[in-house]
Amino acid sequence: MIRYVIRRLVQLVFVLIGVSVVVFLTMHVLPGDVAMLLLGDHGTTEQLESLRRQLGLDQPIHVQYLLFAEAALQGDFGISLRSHHPAFEDVWTALPVTIQLSVAALLVAVAVGVPLGVMAAVWPLSRFDNIVMTVSLFGASMPIFWLGLMMILVFGAFLNWLPIGGIMPIGVDAPRVTGMTIVDSIIAGRADLLALAVHHLILPACTLGTVSMALITRITRSEMLSMRSQDHVRTARAKGLSEPAVVLKHVLRNALIPVVTVIGLQLGLLLSGAVLTETIFSLPGVGRLMINAILDRDYPVVQAAAMLTAFVFVVVNLVVDVSYAYLDPRIRYR
């Protein structure tokens, strides 16, 4: 197991190098002049050349990348061209919002998707199974931006049940410890702030978790149906075990490996793919920060956000792979 983890960590290094190259080249081949963007139309030629030298933009592209890589290894991704703060500091400040949203969306997806998948597999081809499969297909097919807007329109504008944006009401600030409003409210012992934080998180979490919920439901049902015909399940029934015990201990547990794989991949995708949800619901997370940085050609922030997101995604996949050995004793890594 230790050798396997070390090998995966080495692979992680090469993945991050590849991500850094792709992101760096992409940001530097986009049309437009960063120096002109910062100085505006009234910048003189001398001022533009001076700013390019200051930012290192007068160097060949490979030299710029090597300088970036050397600084990144020391945790320095440069200074944001807009906020004038360290780029990694801006990303690190926004990261807790994205983590809170992604974890909440995944919890919604798992809490709804797994039970629905199990019940659909217990009663296959029934009316309930048909309804679940139809709804899951509908959920997997809906674009996130359309679903988010519909959620805002129905539950925010028409019914006025839930807030339509932000992480807290205007003028209300939770004590910042972790940057995640729910966790910070619990740490502060403020039930009122916790209720507000959860209230603001419901719509974006349900919006972001819909596609994952549909996928988890379908995968759970499919794996449960394939496991029901296995020899060990028939043996368990022959021994006189109750149907709930057979389903939970012998069918569901053995069907969990592909389900856990999907859940782990979905967490990584949610962390990196919350851009639309954060933009629609005005959440100050990494996705929204990256969109604004791309539009402003703030490439230090884009590079820092991409590297951090890639690192989190690869680590999540590693944790998922290691968990297989605990779910199925037959699996051994070398």
In a domain, 155, yes or no: yes
Rounded Cα distance between 2 and 328, Å, is: 18
Is the model more confident about 216 or about 298? 216
Any idea what the CATH number is for the domain that residue 204 is in? 1.10.3720.10
Residues facing 86 on adjacent strands: 79
In a domain, 286, yes or no: yes
- The proportion of the chain whose per-residue pLDDT surpasses 70, expressed as a percent, equals 86
pTM beyond cutoff 0.95:
no
pLDDT digits (tens, 9 = 90+) for 174-184: 778 888 888 88
In a domain, 55, yes or no: no
- Taking the CA atoms of 290, 294, 296 and 300 in sequence, report the sign of the dihedral they define: positive
In a domain, 141, yes or no: yes
How many structural domains comprise the chain? 1
DSSP 76: -
Return the amino acid letter for 157.
A
Domain boundaries, position 161: 87-327
Q: Measure Cα distances from 195 to 111, 123, 167, 275 in Å.
A: 20, 37, 12, 25
Is the model more confident about 281 or about 319? 281
Q: Measure Cα distances from 298 to 21, 67, 85, 294 in Å.
A: 17, 17, 12, 6
Does pLDDT of 286 surpass 80? Answer: yes
In a domain, 122, yes or no: yes
Report how far apart the first and last C-alpha atoms of the chain are (Å, whole number).
6
Does pLDDT of 42 surpass 80? Answer: no
Q: What pLDDT does 169 receive?
A: 80
Q: What pLDDT does 151 receive?
A: 87
Q: What is the largest CA-CA distance in the chain?
A: 87
Question: Tokens representing 4?
Answer: 């396997």
Q: What is the mean pLDDT of residues 230-258?
A: 72
Q: Answer yes or no: are the C-beta atoms of 77 and 23 closer than 8 Å.
A: no
Residues facing 137 on adjacent strands: none
pLDDT digits (tens, 9 = 90+) for 76-126: 787 887 777 888 888 888 888 888 888 899 899 899 988 898 888 888 888
Q: Answer yes or no: are the C-beta atoms of 301 and 290 closer than 8 Å.
A: yes
pLDDT digits (tens, 9 = 90+) for 8-40: 778 788 888 888 888 888 777 666 666 666 666
Kindly give, in sequence order, each residue whose CB lies less than 8 Å from that of residue 126, ignoring residues fewer than 6 positions away: none
Return the amino acid letter for 17.
I
